[in-house]
Amino acid sequence: MSVHASAVIAAGAVVPESCTVGPYCTIGPEVVLGEACVLVSHVVLEGRTRIGSGNTFYPFSSIGVAPQDLKYKGEPTETEIGDNNTIRECVTISRGTAGGGGLTRLGSNNLLMTQVHIGHDSHVGNHCILANAATLAGHVTIEDFATVGAFCPVHQHCTVGQYAFIGGGTIVTQDVLPFSLTSARRENKAFGINKVGLTRRGFSPERLASLQKAFRWLLTAKMNTSQALEKIKAMEGEDAIILAAFLERSQRGVIK
């Protein structure tokens, strides 16, 4: 194990020999690290925190810290992180609260850029990108392959659908449609499908055309959401099923 002399590892912490712990890092007694994790320097890991393998934590990131919630009174809640995440400088991830399920979760293969905040009881999927200073309030869900742009605050209990792309500076107060390109160029709107991102992820021209048809019904046709939903439910293909299910379970309404 490579541990700098200035690092502090509490008794009880699990740190495999394949890990690297840089200068001035602090690891609490209930932290469990997976194989081949790298703590560059000045990293704080605390609370009941379980971390998978191959994660890299850059300076001044704080993981598993107490939630920014006045109702929190020290309950034994948790933080869970998957594998192969890149967590850049000054990222903060708060552990869960008793009232919100008790767990904050980050999946695998994500990039969290500088100053990202993941609030208590939030759940981030796999292969997501959260750009600089993206801020998730408590109880936020980010589904797989989503991108949240720089300086985007996401309101409590909002869901960002899979493969969605949110432009920088967008204030998110409702759910973001899966597959969508959503931005605040003038006001918060969905501008259609995330065509560039979906193409990069291997979506065929046929899948893109089907999604474009569904989004025309949702965004530009002279029909309400319920009418558009009925048309989408009649379509074939997994993407239509995902989109329809997202619309049906949305509690805060969706950005259109």
**Quick one: what percent of the chain has pLDDT higher than 70?**
98
Out of 138, 149, 167, 192, pick the active-site residue: 138
pLDDT above 80 for 187 = no
Out of 42, 120, 123, 139, pick the active-site residue: 120
**CA gap 161, 99 in Å, rounded:** 24
Task: Tell me how far CA of residue 125 lies from CA of 2, 74, 108, 129, 154, in angstroms.
Answer: 30, 26, 7, 10, 15
Q: Is residue 167 part of a domain?
A: no
Domain that holds residue 218: 197-249
pLDDT at 221: 86
Q: Tell which of 121, 142, 163 closes a domain.
A: 142
Output the domain CATH number for residue 110. Answer: 2.160.10.10
Q: Is residue 186 part of a domain?
A: no
Same domain, 17 and 94: yes
Could you give the number of structural domains in the chain?
2
Out of 28, 100, 121, 161, pick the active-site residue: 121
How does residue 14 score in pLDDT terms, banded at 50, 70 and 90? very high
pLDDT at 85: 98
- pLDDT per residue over 39-52, tens digit each? 999 999 999 999 99
pLDDT at 1: 73
Q: Is residue 174 part of a domain?
A: no
The answer to whether residue 192 is catalytic is no
pTM: 0.94
- What average pLDDT does range 203-218 have in this prediction? 95
pLDDT at 29: 98
The answer to whether residue 127 is catalytic is no
Same domain, 19 and 123: yes
pLDDT above 80 for 186 = no
pLDDT at 72: 95
How does residue 98 score in pLDDT terms, banded at 50, 70 and 90? very high
Q: Is residue 133 part of a domain?
A: yes
The answer to whether residue 144 is catalytic is no
pLDDT at 190: 85
Give CA angle at 245 (242, 248), nearest 5°: 150
